[in-house]
Structure 1
Amino acid sequence: MSAETKFSPVEGFEPPALGEPYLLTPGPLTTAYAVKQAMLRDWGSWDGDFRAMTADMRRRLLALTGDTKGEFDCVPMQGSGSFCVEAMLGSFVPKDGKVLVLANGAYGLRAAQTMQYLGRAYTLIDKGDYLPPRGAEVAAALDADPAITHVIAIHCETSSGILNPVAEISEAVYAKGRKLLVDSMSAFGAIPLDVNEIRYEAMVSSANKCIEGVPGFGFVIAKKTELEAAKGRSHSLSLDVHAQWATLEKTGQWRFTPPTHVVAAFLEALKMHEAEGGVAGRGARYTKNRDVMVAGMRELGFETLLLDHWLSPIIVTFFCPAHENFAFDRFYGLMKDKGFIIYPGKLTVVESFRVGCIGRMDEHVMRRVVEAARESLAEMNVPDAAPPRTALEERAKLAA
């Protein structure tokens, strides 16, 4: 391996511990030593020290939204990101409300499935895998259905890697007198979601995404007026955002056993996030990771599912090569042997795989990723990673 592709010795970007592979996924992801080490101490969930940690965490997360008027509050919720999306929908959408779900991938469709489970009214705009929902079509859908009270948008749809135009969607929603909910699971902390620039009632994200913590909880950031109005709405005891918020406000404690070690790790990750320059600094590193990796993969013949305009700095979807010797399972194994765990595709139309740009890594690591892909293709006797012509034709047709 050349000197250029060796890992950078930049302080704070150490390689994974104990020979672990890099996780090139949308989370869980590669974390810093300091984040891992923060989990080595046990904490009492009712103890004053842990309550102070929870309060500090909530304050730090609110600061990332740009809320200087005290209009919002942060409510951590145990469980995965999908737990938090369900908690948001079940708590903020009235039982007689109706949601317009904007989908262009698996997570938008999961929001629709959640509404179905909740037994609450919804309608769906499904854009497929290639394109984002746009403000004009959101406005048209709201005009066509006065019963719609809320819209849910996915900030970054990680099944394809598309970054959706949330600001444009927000303008359309509020121009029509409706309310916006945002699933910013894979974007918050690296892509701006400033309440002074993008209007929304509530958003959700997770500990193990762009803040670079570990899995175990997510969080809801919502207007206090919406939190107050949510009393009695939830379909679930454990996913009741109002009840969790009311308990935190009254006692400083979580209602049910919190993931204490995960919270400690997340606080350390938040401090590292701030030291890197906050949202702007984290986003700049991820963008550089993406640009270096995409350029290198394209040199090998790979092509992205999305046109450049819609590529997010979170995760990138690539078409699988058309060459007969290429098999994703073998490619995955060869990449893992070289220290990189990539992500299978999650599309229904074409064969694909994904490479994440987030986690404790920099552009030097991404150059190693490209080199590992080059070596893996050679071992598979795949001289050209170009995708099927039909895949590119389909992308061009839909993009037009």
Structure 2
Amino acid sequence: MLSEHKLAAQAPFPAPAPLPAPALGEPYLLTPGPLTTSYAVKQAMLRDWGSWDGDFRAMTSEMRQRLLAMLGDTNNEFDCVPMQGSGSFAVEAMLGSFVPRDGKALVLVNGAYGQRIVQTLGYLGRDHVAIDKGDYMPPRGDEVAAALDADPAITHVILVHCETSSGILNPVAEISETVYAKGRKFLVDSMSAFGAIPLEVGDVRYEAMVSSANKCIEGVPGFGFIIARKSELEAAKGRSHSLSLDVHAQWAHMNKTGQWRYTPPTHVVAAFLEALRQHEAEGGVAGRGARYTRNRDVMVAGMRELGFETLLKDRWLSPIIVTFFCPAHPDFAFDRFYELMKEKGFIIYPGKLTVVDSFRVGCIGRMDEHVMRKVVEAAGQSLRQMGVDTAAPPAAAIAERAKLAA
């Protein structure tokens, strides 16, 4: 379990062989997606496909089956529905199709993507309430249980599996147990976790989850996918607020014709199918998750040696992306640090917190621990170029974290 995991500085691993570098001297994308992809994934996009052609229909079918195979759905209760657009399109499709118009959602918020779910439900006209934990802490089962006891009108609970604005990995199994013990339904935004963090239906109960092509499976942007119980898909008929984001209509049409209702991102599907094959060859969810975990551990240990401090305690650090406090040193400026890192071949991510200055370093994509050691080396060089002799954060930032986490 993550809470028992020791970081690389405390428990070194044997070093595997390096992965190939990105094609054409591209920089590494140390972000939560889009991310660095393999040359084979890029190469898969060099052919044009007819969206109605039998070969492309077969590709769509294989893609759906490969995604379902990750669930451990031995009773054949789930189906997979690809949906054009970014991950937020797929999240909105899930919310609009599975939260009834007379339902009420409890959203568990600890970052920007939980807040986006709240905003989306407002646009959809769905009644909702939220438990907002701020940037530092996960929701826990006891407080969810109390909220459900206090409001019998709540029909659904919604959680972001990995909240990438902070990098926190939320306790999805704990929340699921609470939700179903109280007779409600659970929806999961696993956008940045599915494919690397287990979400098998025999271990975690939910009605539907959503993810996208350009995350842990290491495809490119262009579509998301909703995996849902067939019973929920049937019940969603006529419920959606949107023609193009109607999950039931997309599902029914695909099952009848093998085709997407509207123009599919054919090149993206071809790339994703290649990414799925590479995912399987790496050992599936377990193999992909192990590489990302090692990426995180090597990178965090090295950054801490430079004086950087993580926003989160080790227990809640995900292997997807890590948030660091910006250094307190007066000569540190994130924009300059970003450009220096980019010059060295690494594109990092700005922070998305409201309380303190921060930045993020992603652990996912076609990269390994050898790359992460180079990331740490580049960070040290960049600090020296800026005249920053320590990356220690402001005392106020540490005090704020301690206060909010108490």
Give yes or no for the alignment of 1:58 onto 2:64: yes
Q: What SS does the corresponding residue of 1:222 show, helix, strand or coil?
A: strand
Give the whole-Å Cα distance in 2 for the aligned partners of 1:9 and 1:349: 39
Q: State the match for 2:297 in structure 1.
A: 291
Q: Deviations over 1:297-317 (max 9, x none)?
A: 000000000000000000000
Q: Secondary structure at the match of 2:301?
A: helix
* 1:69-218 pair list within 5 angstroms: 69-218=75-224
Distance in 2 between the 1:95 and 1:203 partners?
19
Q: Does 1:220 align with 2:226?
A: yes
Residue 305, structure 1, aligned to residue 311, structure 2? yes
Q: How far did residue 17 of structure 1 move?
A: 1.2
Q: Which amino acid aligns with 1:178?
A: R
- Cross-structure match for 1:272: 278
- Provide the C-alpha distance between the structure 2 equivalents of 1:70 and 1:183, rounded to a whole number of angstroms: 21
Q: What is the distance in 2 between the residues matched to 1:398 and 1:116?
A: 27
Task: Give the TM-score normalised by the residue count of structure 2.
Answer: 0.96
Deviations 1:62-121 (A, max 9, x none): 001111111000000000000010000000011000000000000000000000000110
* Alpha-carbon distance in 2 for matches of 1:68, 1:56: 18
1:337 pairs with one of 343, 368, 382: 343
Match of 2:17 in 1: 10
Shift of 1:293: 0.1
2:35 corresponds to which letter in structure 1? L
* Matching residue's letter, 1:141: A
Query: Structure 1 segments of 4 or more deviating over 4 A?
Result: none
Counterparts of 1:317-332 in structure 2, within 5 Å, are 317-332=323-338
Tell me, in whole angstroms, the C-alpha distance in 2 between the residues paired with 1:108 and 1:52.
35
Deviations 1:193-249 (A, max 9, x none): 010000000000000000000000000000000000000000000000000000000
- Determine the C-alpha separation between the residues in 2 that align with 1:59 and 1:351: 43
Shift, 1:399, TM fit: 2.1
3-state DSSP of counterpart to 2:158: strand
Q: SS of 2:81's equivalent?
A: strand
Gaps of 5+ in 2: 1-14
The aligned residue for residue 257 of structure 1 is 263
Letter in 2 for 1:10: A
Q: Secondary structure at the match of 2:375?
A: helix
Partners of 2:344 and 2:224 lie apart in 1 by: 32
| 1:381-396 paired onto structure 2 within 5 Å | 381-396=387-402
Deviations 1:141-167 (A, max 9, x none): 000000000010000000000000000
CA-to-aligned-CA distance 1:292-337 (integer Å, 9 cap, x gap): 0000000000000000000000000000000000000000000000
C-alpha displacement of 1:9: 9.4
Q: Once the 2 structures are TM-superposed, how far is the Cα of residue 16 of structure 1 from its aligned partner? A: 1.1
2 CA distance for matches of 1:30 and 1:134?
34
Please name the residue that 2:10 is paired with.
Answer: none
Cα root mean square deviation, aligned: 0.9
Amino acid at match of 2:374: R
Letter in 2 for 1:163: L
Distance 1:19 1:277 in 2: 27
User: How far off is 1:41 after superposition?
Assistant: 0.4
Provide the C-alpha distance between the structure 2 equivalents of 1:393 and 1:94, rounded to a whole number of angstroms: 42
Q: Which residue of 1 aligns with 2:40?
A: 34
Q: Which residue of 2 aligns with 1:4?
A: none
% identity of equivalent residues: 83
Residue type of the partner of 1:127?
K
> 1:3 maps to which residue?
none
Counterpart of 1:358 in structure 2 is 364
| CA distance in structure 1 between the partners assigned to 2:281 and 2:355 by the alignment | 42
For 1:305 and 1:10, locate their aligned partners in 2 and report how far apart those are by CA, in whole Å: 31
Change (3 A) 1:247 1:126: same
Q: 2 CA distance for matches of 1:227 and 1:171?
A: 22
The amino acid across from 2:296 in the alignment is R
Rounded to whole Å, the distance in 1 between the matches of 2:305 and 2:80 is 44
TM-fit CA distance, 1:22: 0.1
Opposite residue 22 of structure 2, the aligned amino acid is P
The alignment partner of 2:117 has SS state of: helix
Distance in 1 between residues matched to 2:339 and 2:89, nearest whole Å? 31
Q: Distance in 2 between matches of 1:226 and 1:399?
A: 37
Secondary structure at 2:224 match in 1: strand
The normalised TM-score by structure 1 is 0.97
Counterpart-to-counterpart distance in 2, 1:131 and 1:157: 11
SS at 1:189's partner residue?
Answer: coil
Gaps of 5+ in 1: 1-7
Q: In structure 2, what is the equivalent of residue 314 of structure 1?
A: 320
2:3 — aligned with what?
none
Q: Which amino acid aligns with 1:396?
A: A
Could you tell me which amino acid in structure 2 is paired with residue 244 of structure 1?
Q
Give, in angstroms, the shift of residue 178 of structure 1: 0.2
2-structure distance, mates of 1:214, 1:393:
39
Quick one: which amino acid aligns to residue 19 of structure 1?
A: G
